[in-house]
Amino acid sequence: MTPVTFKQLTLGSGLPKICVPITGTDIAKVIGQAGEVVSSSTDLVEWRLDYLNNLEDLDQLVQTANRLTEILGELPLIATLRDRTEGGKRQIADSDYRDIYTELLTKTKITAIDLEWQRDPETIKNLIALAESNHVRTIISHHEFDHTPSEADMVSQLTAMARTNGSVVKLAVMPQSSDDVLALMNATHQVSAIIDQPLITMAMGALGAVSRIAGQTFNSCLTFASVHAQSAPGQLSVEQTRQILTTLAPTIEGLETSTLN
């Protein structure tokens, strides 16, 4: 696994980084949430475009993205357009998906975009190429909201996602048992040793909460937390997450040292 930089931030080394979502339904709410996020201890920010009521207004979308990057300063900004099939707030055709991201990639200074792995492969390939040409990172993502695949299937899936050559690979699953949570952690640990990209994985819901704060143990490089509203089930607050990650770090580092010795 090779670390990747998002502005001044490095994913794939040290403690897992914390990302907070902006989920405003209109521009005023988006800007207001950005101000709250800046006051938190988050490491980077995800703007959930699918929450917007006026997503079709591309000129306003670009203006808002540029305003957000000004407010956030050195905090990296990930733009995410999540389809309803992946837990998002709207259904988005591939053509609209391509057009919206193209506007953002060519007319704003966003740090990264989230790309859904199960989209049309040609659309994803073209968007990755466009992102690279504009020095924007890509997160290749997939979400299973009703179950957790087997450990072997998750290893196969994550490996296949890495072959798209995006910057980072992300998988979120819904556990039905503690065995599912362990399977996700094991799969992540295995895959981190065989692919180049950093991994983001999580088990959603209360049952999977441990996966959001134990990423350093099994090589998941980022976790999502909330300032107010959650964007996925099971998210902790930024401050809760920061405190737990910091508390666990000396213990984990001590175990790694004793293993080496």
Active site residue ranges:
143, 170
The gap from C-alpha 168 to its chain's centroid, in whole angstroms, comes to 9
Residue 212 counted as an annotated binding residue: yes
Residue 235 counted as an annotated binding residue: yes
Buried b (16+ CB within 10 A) or exposed e, 163-173: ebebbbbbbbb
Residue 183's closest CA among 148, 227, 143?
148
Q: State which amino acid sits at residue 246.
A: T
Residue 48 counted as an annotated binding residue: yes
Residue 243 counted as an annotated binding residue: no
Alpha helices in 22-77 (DSSP H): 27-38, 58-72
Residue 222's closest CA among 135, 149, 139?
139
Q: Is 203 helix (H, G, I), strand (E, B) or coil?
A: strand
Residues 7, 9, 11, 13, CA torsion sign: positive
Residue 117 counted as an annotated binding residue: no
Which residues belong to the annotated binding site?
46-48, 82, 212, 231, 235
Residues within the annotated binding site for 3-dehydroquinate?
46-48, 82, 212, 231, 235
